[in-house]
Amino acid sequence: MYSNANELKDLCDRSGKKIWQVAIEVESEYNETTIDEIRQKIKENIDIMRQACNKTLKKEIPSISGLTSGMAKKIFSYMGKDNAIFSKEILKSVAYSLSCFEVNTSMGKIVAAPTAGSCGILPGCLFMLAEKINAVDDDLINAFITAAAIGTIIEKNATLSGAEGGCQAECGSASAMAAAAMTEMLGGSVEQCLHAGSMAITNVMGQICDPIAGLVEIPCAKRNAIGVVNAILCADMALAGIECFVPFDEVIVAMYEVGKALPATLRETGIGGLAGTPTGVAARRKIFGE
């Protein structure tokens, strides 16, 4: 049992196990399920996420509100072109996350990871990396378990809710989960995984939740995209040996404190930030006729 990152690291260090190994054993013990059942259930969730990450790459599906569509398709056809600054892999990862998010806003089937508003980041990162390194299904299941373990620690000691902590708590947490999982997939140590996660949250600390018209859509889709890039950057930094000065457990508490200090207008109320701009207000009027 672990209630913070330090305890998780201790358990890993003492047993010589990776994060996913410790996490699945703890889950099995406390929820009285077998390890096979847990892996099977993760696999089912992965199948749903994989479909969502591919669904709008070649076909536009407009959102329910009618405000957005076609972003995944645009990036997917742009990636690999001569002008593109990011590598094809990074842009593919972004395209996956946007596709997953577009499925979400068009009332398709997704898996909250950790929330619906941040659902594209984790699968976008992990599916890309699994393809890049030819990981088998079992490796991918392990990576999702590691990511979820990081999420449980944030939920327990801080918050994953935009209404409580702003976007940093949703997309920031998803980014930290993805960064840690990718670091582990690439052979990083437990310590490096935690550095990657800490840096991912540090990089977006203070990010507000200001959805236009109060809808989980704008700017959430693009914050999923930057969440992917942030996670990739932090995994690479950690694997290169860069450390986060403040340890993970302290970073997430700081994130929580920052979230609580944000005014309510910047916490998923659809009032401040982009939602409060003339364009944001006009969009609300158009959708709701107010």
Q: 3-class secondary structure for 154-193?
A: HHHHCCCCHHHHCHHHHHHHHHHHHHHHHHHHCCCCHHHH
Site string for another protein, 270-289 (x = CB under 8 A): x----------------xx-
End-to-end CA distance of the chain: 51
Q: Using CB under 8 A, pick the residue from 57, 112, 233, 274 that binds another protein.
A: 112
> Nearer to another protein by C-beta: 24 or 237?
24
> Nearer to another protein by C-beta: 111 or 238?
111
Site string for another protein, 221-260 (x = CB under 8 A): ----------------------------------------
Site string for another protein, 186-225 (x = CB under 8 A): ---------------------------xxxxx--------
Which residues touch 142 (CB under 8 Å, ≥6 apart)?
18, 20, 184, 185
Three-class DSSP category at 246: coil
Whether the CB-CB separation of 17 and 11 falls below 8 Å is answered with yes
Which residues touch 191 (CB under 8 Å, ≥6 apart)?
9
Three-class DSSP category at 63: coil
Applying CB under 8 A, which part among 91-99, 149-157, 182-190, 255-263 lies near another protein? Answer: 149-157
Applying CB under 8 A, which part among 101-109, 127-135, 182-190, 241-249 lies near another protein? Answer: 101-109
Q: Binding to another protein by residue 63, rule CB under 8 A?
A: yes
How far from the centroid of its chain's Cα atoms is residue 230's Cα? 10
> Nearer to another protein by C-beta: 113 or 204?
113
d(CA 209, CA 61): 24
Assess whether the previous peptide bond of 114 is cis (omega < 30° from 0). yes
Site string for another protein, 66-95 (x = CB under 8 A): ------------------------------
Residue whose structure tokens are 């990074």? 90
Q: Binding to another protein by residue 155, rule CB under 8 A?
A: yes
d(CA 148, CA 152): 6
Assess whether the previous peptide bond of 219 is cis (omega < 30° from 0). yes
Applying CB under 8 A, which part among 10-18, 82-90, 142-150, 188-196 lies near another protein? Answer: 142-150
Q: Using CB under 8 A, pick the residue from 56, 97, 99, 161 that binds another protein.
A: 161
Polymer length of the chain? 290
Give the total of residues touching another protein (CB under 8 A). 53
> Nearer to another protein by C-beta: 26 or 254?
26
Binding site for another protein (CB under 8 A): 1, 23-24, 26-27, 30-31, 38, 41-42, 44-45, 48, 63-65, 103-117, 119, 144-145, 147-149, 151-152, 155-156, 160-161, 163, 177, 213-217, 270, 287-288
